[in-house]
Amino acid sequence: MRIEQAHLDLLYRHLDTARERAHRTSAGAHHGAAAGGTHQARLEREVRAREAARHAARLDAVERGLCFGRLDERDGTVHHIGRTGLTDEAYEPLLLDWRAPAARPFYTATPAHPGTVVRRRHLHTEGRTVTGLDDEALDLAGLDESGRRALVGEAALLAALARERTGRMATAVATIQAEQDRVIRSPLPGALVVQGGPGTGKTLAALHRAAYLLFTHRAALERRGVLVIGPTTGFLRYIEEVLPALGETEVVLRTVGELFPDVTTARTDAPATAVAKGGPWMTEVLRRAVAAHQSAPAEGIDLGDGLRVSARACAQARDAARGLRAPHNRARTHYLRTLLDALAIAQALSLGRPYDEEEAHYAPRELWAREDVRAALDPLWPALTPRQLVERLLTDGELLAEVAPEHAAALLRPPGSPWTVEDVPLLDEAAELLGDLHPTDRTGSATGFATETSTEAGAATEDEEELAFAQGVLTITGQTDDALLDAAALAGRFREDSPYRSTAERAGADRTWAYGHVVVDEAQELSAMAWRTVLRRIPTNSLTVVGDLAQTGSPAGARSWAQMLDPHLPGRWREERLTVNYRTPEPIMALAAAVLRTAAPGQQPPESARPGTDRPRAVPVPDGDFAAALAELPAPVGTLGVIAPDGKAPALGALTVTAAKGLEFDNVVVVEPAALAPRDLYVALTRATRTLTLLHHRPLPPELAGAL
């Protein structure tokens, strides 16, 4: 350990030096960016500030567990493996980044196929101190006598599996297995589906893949960021430390219920409503709902004093606006201008004056200034927000009967009902159909006909200049991939005098942000409409899709990957399978496998890698007082997760199956297994890493009773 400690000390000295230099550069660049000078000079300084801040954040994030491995090769070459790469003053490598090609044998070499590796060593550290070593001799014949005598420790994977859980997912960067490495290093393009049963490490593999892709394709991905979508906020808290610990900070974590700006919800709908809202037919329902707000009065328009437009002209104006194939709010302007022109012509004719170019310029604007004209035209094609459209759709029985007769009963709800997770894809779809409001619609004048003042024109010109400077700076510095939004953000920094915001912060606040890569965990739970919402955020279709079809709980979720993905990504997705369960001990997995045969007969359970010593136990609760029964259980060693049916969970302070998805605990208590659907029971049983207890008042399901 003395030799490894000396090398670790050397690595931390170089890390400290690099980190101090990065922070100094960042501070100096930010100070310079705030100073005066031309737009171009300030934007160039801002680019340097952003890059320095990113580098400093990455170096800060790898402090813990900087070096965790070592490879000894047959020719005597030694490589140390860690969370980032470090070199000495002569640019000789002191530490290989775990994602570098030269580090891959650390994860793929086996005694059967060692390649050039003779020994793999795992370093255990606490802070900056080496606390233990584990050696794996992959080629004993390749080790000399001193090397054989130096072998120490046990298999690092078994040690990692035996550790107590902390309530936070840790990185597996030191113990990645070969099938997980295949997932992690899978190429960037297209959608990769990672199908794996409980405990196979699919979430860890997906997160490490995100870190690997950011390392390998940093220029393409870092400025676009990576979006990680998880099933619950509890799950996101559980995994939130993994990517920063790998040195990656340009990551946005969201649930589906958080993908629409200013909406955060974890509420879910009843099964029938969830199915109705989640089906692909909702795209047509929403289109019909928008069209229902685009009307042409059957009697035409007659405001008196010669201000008349025939019913036929109104219908032609409406059809022409629809023919633009533009979003509703943009087409509204065309429709209203056409009607105003028709009214202005009618007015001119009634007054016996020619409708010349000057009249055409001023008359429609003067008409729109009249309250009676606005009151007559505005309702024909109103400016709409996504919230207004979806709220009316779901609360207006007559509208639902018109646009969604088959699903009206399931969709109808009382006005003022809170938003649900299933509403978010509807809001997102509505935003696409409606488009942005005109700026004057946002301020309440409800139209886009105000005359631009000279001040506004000047401001617009200045904005264009700043944007052009920003675009030029990014071009010069080689940062132009999808850089228009970045340019706007840089220009906005000086208009708003706003502080530096990371890519993750900017992306998280922008519904239309195009990410570089998206990870979808527990993806089997997403509805067809939710997939549309996700895919809008990744136009390149570069995704890591993680899930287990045997654990699908949502009635609107996936029954096969092809059924869910082929409509959106035909021929553009591929599948990898993880088959080894590293979490669940063999006795517990045998019980879960018996349940799986009922829950999903066509699905194969993963093979458990852990023998386990504690058999699952069933504890009858004759009086049904589960709170008292929980209190009487022996105090467990390690973390405890209590999982109960939805109706019992709140009173017991327990987790529902939905809230427990993706999580793991040293000890798990499942309350009233017979009240859980078979797939939910399978999920609940496979959260345990050590002990499993079943509290039951009702008889146990036959598959459990027969396997205990």
| Residues making up the binding site for ATP | 196-203
Instruction: Kindly list the distances between the CA atom of residue 115 and the CA atoms of 1, 105, 182, 491, 599, in Å, as whole numbers in the listed order.
Output: 26, 8, 17, 52, 43
What are the tokens at 61?
A: 């994030």
State whether residue 165 is helix, strand or coil: coil
CA distance 436 to 383: 9
Q: Which DSSP letter does residue 445 get?
A: S
Cα angle 508-509-515, degrees, rounded to a multiple of 5 = 45
CB 103 within 8 A of CB 79: yes
CA distance 429 to 283: 7
CB 207 within 8 A of CB 242: yes
Which strand (E) or helix (H) includes residue 180? helix 178-184
CA distance 257 to 385: 18
CA distance 382 to 378: 5
- Neighbour tally for 522: CB within 10 Å: 26
Residue of 82, 102, 104 whose CA lies nearest to 94: 82
Strand 517-520 to 543-547 pairing: parallel
Q: Residue 196 burial (CB < 10 Å; 0-12/13-18/19+)?
A: buried
DSSP assignment of 300-335: -EE-STT-EE-HHHHHHHHHHHHHTT--HHHHHHHH
* CA terminus-to-terminus distance, the chain: 46
Residue 581: strand pairing partners: 608
What are the tokens at 521?
A: 């965990």
SS (H, E, C) 25-89: HHHHHHHHHHCCCCHHHHHHHHHHHHHHHHHHHHHHHCCCCCEEEEEEECCCCEEEEECCCEECC
CB 190 within 8 A of CB 542: yes
Residue type for 438, please? H
For residue 583, how far is the Cα from the chain centroid?
24
State whether residue 522 is helix, strand or coil: coil
Residues counted in the chain = 708
Instruction: Kindly list the distances between the CA atom of residue 708 and the CA atoms of 50, 197, 613, 621, in Å, as whole numbers in the listed order.
Output: 59, 21, 14, 17
DSSP assignment of 286-297: HHHHHHTT----
DSSP assignment of 349-378: HHHT----HHHHHHHHHHHHTSHHHHHHHG
Instruction: Specify binding-site residues.
Output: 196-203
- Tokens 């099964």 -> residue: 271
CB 671 within 8 A of CB 642: yes
- Collect all residues with Cβ–Cβ distance below 8 Å to 21 and sequence separation of at least 6: none
What are the tokens at 48?
A: 């340097």
- Collect all residues with Cβ–Cβ distance below 8 Å to 460 and sequence separation of at least 6: 452
- Collect all residues with Cβ–Cβ distance below 8 Å to 287 and sequence separation of at least 6: 433
